[in-house]
Amino acid sequence: MKPSQVAEALNVIASRIDNSENPNFSLVASDINAIIANLTLAKKKPKYQQRGKTVFPHTSPKVKDNKDHFPINDADQARNALSRANQYSKVPSWYDGSLEELVNAVARKVHSEYPSIEVSEESKKPGKGKGKKSSLNPDEMATKLRKIAAAIDASNNPKLDLVIKNIKALL
């Protein structure tokens, strides 16, 4: 809500109170709470601004979808960014450039932010992770999937990030 809209809405509420012999204060409170809710929403930062350091911030000219990509707030995230960039076999729809440019940009940014992380020449090649097979045999994978499913069933509020991480670890 723009400041002018807030002012207008408050004036409308004030006028309603002035023009009524017996104003309904529960309606007034409801209207004021609606304005407060709008202001609170407007005050919150969008999620894409809360990701911290990223290789491709939403403001990058290479980003088409106005979202941050490849967060690198710590060394683990930086290693993960390297790994994820190498799993692409074609340019993602959100990126404006070649796959090689994307992988090289991730490698450069990770190295500049975390010099202790060794970025090999292999890590700079697109598609390195393509075709990777699980080290688990089908029975082991099925057993692990059932365990993850049981953990989800046992939890009232499963943490989706952890569930996704556990499933991805099987791949």
- Structure-model confidence comparison of residues 84 and 38, the more confident one: 84
Please report the pLDDT score of residue 13 as a whole number: 75
To 10 degrees, what angle do helices 138-154 and 160-169 make?
A: 170
Same domain, 64 and 100: yes
Specify the pTM.
0.49
Same domain, 117 and 53: yes
What's the number of domains the chain is made of? 3
Is 132 a member of any domain? no
Is 35 a member of any domain? yes
Please report the pLDDT score of residue 106 as a whole number: 94
Q: Give just the sign of the alpha carbon dihedral 145, 148, 153, 156.
A: negative
Query: Residue 1, Cβ neighbours under 10 Å: how many?
Result: 15
Same domain, 56 and 101: yes
Could you tell me the residue range of the domain that residue 31 belongs to?
3-44
Cα separation, 164 vs 151, whole angstroms = 13
Is 13 a member of any domain? yes
Same domain, 120 and 147: no
- For 122-168, the pLDDT digits (tens) are 777 777 544 445 566 566 657 677 777 777 767 766 565 665 666 66
Is 129 a member of any domain? no
Q: Note whether 117 and 79 are within 8 A (CB).
A: yes
Same domain, 62 and 104: yes
- Structure-model confidence comparison of residues 13 and 73, the more confident one: 73
Nearest to 70 by CA among 120, 32, 98, 104: 104
Same domain, 86 and 101: yes
Please report the pLDDT score of residue 131 as a whole number: 44
